[in-house]
Amino acid sequence: MNLQALLNGLAPNPQQGLESLTVEGLALDSRLVRHNDAFIALNGSQQHGLAHAAQAISKGAGVIIYDPAGNGAELAKQVLGVPVIAIDGLSDALGEMAARFYGDPSQAMAVIGITGTNGKTSCSQFLAQMLDACGIIGTLGWGEWGKLKTTANTTPDALSVQQMLASLRQDGKQAVAMEVSSHGLDLGRVNGVKFTGAVYTNITRDHLDYHGTMDAYLEAKLLLLKKSSPAFVAVNLDAEGSDAVIASIPGSASIWGVSRQGKVVAKGETLQVKNSRSHAGGLEFDVQYRLVAQHISVPLYGDFNIENVMLVLAVMLAMGMEFLPAAEKLRQLKPVAGRMECFGGDAQPLVFVDYAHTPDALDKVLSSARNHCRQSLWTVFGCGGNRDSGKRPLMGAAAGQWADRVIVTDDNPRNEDSAAIIKDILSGCDSSKTEVVPDREQAIHTAVARAGHKDCIVVAGKGHEDYQEVKGVKYPFSDRQVVLEALARRA
């Protein structure tokens, strides 16, 4: 691509001669630079990207675009042999730049941005199953449902997002369900993405180690509406913060609310849920839309999945599907790995593996599991290290409120002391029903071995993850696999 066209309006003082330069690609990682790429040097939290300029040039970089912040301006003086171009706030500009380079792929597809504390992954996975030719970008990976490639973050960096969207467009995808995290919004990772629709699941305590306050966290979530102009927005009306979301929706967007508590959207459409019940095969409920009611049955567990399914239905309707065919299609939904995923049953205890790692998520998972539990409810959980420590006693309190037996264990201690994390959790626990088994594998085996066959066990916190991080090292570990092994040993 012509460099002048790429940087038009982004570089305030373009250098002479740019009109004759072209770049073959964009690269954030100097190790991945190819011949005649533009190396993008951001001002990182640990190190400026220009520290790797020499490697980028040796790999064949034709130009370096850098952020002068930090020590960028000084490092740029040391770069020889290729043009160096400064762009203030390069992190914010990168999304637009990458979108230009890849031909604005989001303009050619219906991109649905899904944000909220809990439910993003489930909604994106469900949407990909319900919409024709729909791709996914999110926690479990990106690509086509059932054939996902790995992503490092829920919302990848701005350059990767545009690369993925371009690949999905080339593969013939007509829609993309994209999880949009608060970090991704705050760091500009979805800048340059045109969102056809937005989904707000809920906003409860999480990531305060990064955002500092709930107000700042909410403001980050609202950037999905402020940085883009979606044609429609689907909102869980029962969730805390929904009023703030609705107040921030642009006047040009249609509003689709879903509620189990009789709430309605003043200016928009509302899907009302009634007569919900849980049973061995999943969930059943009635949906009222305008003057029509429809019974819906889905092979999913957890009352909170009713809200997720309804948000998906709202998107289907907003995109033009008729109500009755859309409601009927929901019967085809398949569960998501590590999201209220069910194991055991019959002569074995029923075991749910879930990613719940916030107080609200654990509360909802355990209260939902109660509905499927014939006798005692067990839970095995821990909290991650180097993250919001204030949520730990809150999660301990949620476990004590709903579970009959609580086993506190390690999650991903990361670089924190495991014993200190567990101590924080125990400060909110009911000690009469709580025991500590730090080794997570042993904790799961203990619960499965001791639970009665009519009991229910929730193993929470890691869900789909296939590793456990301790002292900066990731060791292979899967809750799902350990649960299967424990049930086999018990049989």
Tens of pLDDT, residues 435-459: 999 999 999 999 999 999 999 999 9
Structural domain contains residue 37: yes
- For 431, other C-beta atoms within 10 Å of its C-beta total 9
Given a contact cutoff of 8 angstroms between Cβ atoms, the answer to whether 86 and 64 are in contact is no
β-pairing verdict for 269-279 and 254-259: parallel
Q: pTM of the prediction?
A: 0.84
* 254 and 222 in a common domain: yes
Which residue range is the domain that position 316 belongs to? Answer: 102-332
* 289 and 150 in a common domain: yes
Q: What is the pLDDT of residue 214?
A: 79
Contacts of 187 (CB under 8 A, 6+ apart): 91
Residue ranges of the chain with per-residue pLDDT less than 50: none
* 372 and 319 in a common domain: no
In total, how many domains does the chain have? Answer: 3
Last residue of a domain, one of 42, 68, 89: 89
Last residue of a domain, one of 332, 358, 374: 332
Q: What is the pLDDT of residue 164?
A: 97
Q: What is the pLDDT of residue 15?
A: 61
Structural domain contains residue 96: no
Q: What is the pLDDT of residue 14?
A: 57
Q: What is the pLDDT of residue 17?
A: 62
* 387 and 249 in a common domain: no
Q: What is the pLDDT of residue 210?
A: 74
* 403 and 282 in a common domain: no
* 313 and 431 in a common domain: no
**432 is written with which tokens?**
């009469």
* 346 and 325 in a common domain: no
Q: What is the pLDDT of residue 13?
A: 64
Q: What is the pLDDT of residue 118?
A: 86
Beta bridge partners, 297, equal 284
* 318 and 351 in a common domain: no
H/E element, 138:
strand 134-138
Structural domain contains residue 47: yes
Given a contact cutoff of 8 angstroms between Cβ atoms, the answer to whether 23 and 3 are in contact is yes
* 224 and 322 in a common domain: yes
* 326 and 445 in a common domain: no
Structural domain contains residue 376: yes
CATH code for position 176: 3.40.1190.10
* 418 and 274 in a common domain: no
Structural domain contains residue 7: yes
Helix axes 391-402, 418-426, angle to 10 degrees: 60
Residue carrying the six token digits 């948000």: 311
CATH code for position 447: 3.90.190.20
* 445 and 414 in a common domain: yes
Last residue of a domain, one of 89, 112, 142: 89
